[in-house]
Amino acid sequence: MTRLPSITERLARNTYHLDDDENHIEVNQEIARRTGTGKLLVRICPAQVYGEAPDGTISVNYAACLECGTCNAMAAPGALIWHYPRGGFGIAYREG
């Protein structure tokens, strides 16, 4: 019987064309902290793009972004600037 690949194995087949000149995600640290959006981003992102330092600063590893848009839909106004990567950059899905 053939074993189907796990979600992790499927995601590992994707490739990401990193745009070194333009980050497609920026966090407004002050608004993110004040509204609780920072902690929310850390919890909801399926790719663990966001991290929180001990001082509350939110880090962004945009190279891991799946471009699902969840963070953009959930963030408080002004806490996040998110857009799709420029043409030719970002994730290239191998399955689906």
CA 76 to CA 90: how far, in whole Å?
A: 24
Member of 12, 18, 68, 81 binding ligand SF4 (CB under 6 A): 68
Binders of ligand SF4 among residues 37 to 56 (CB under 6 A) are 45-47, 49
Cβ closest to ligand SF4, residue 33 vs residue 71: 71
Say whether residue 71 binds ligand SF4 (CB under 6 A): yes
Member of 31, 67, 76, 89 binding ligand SF4 (CB under 6 A): 67
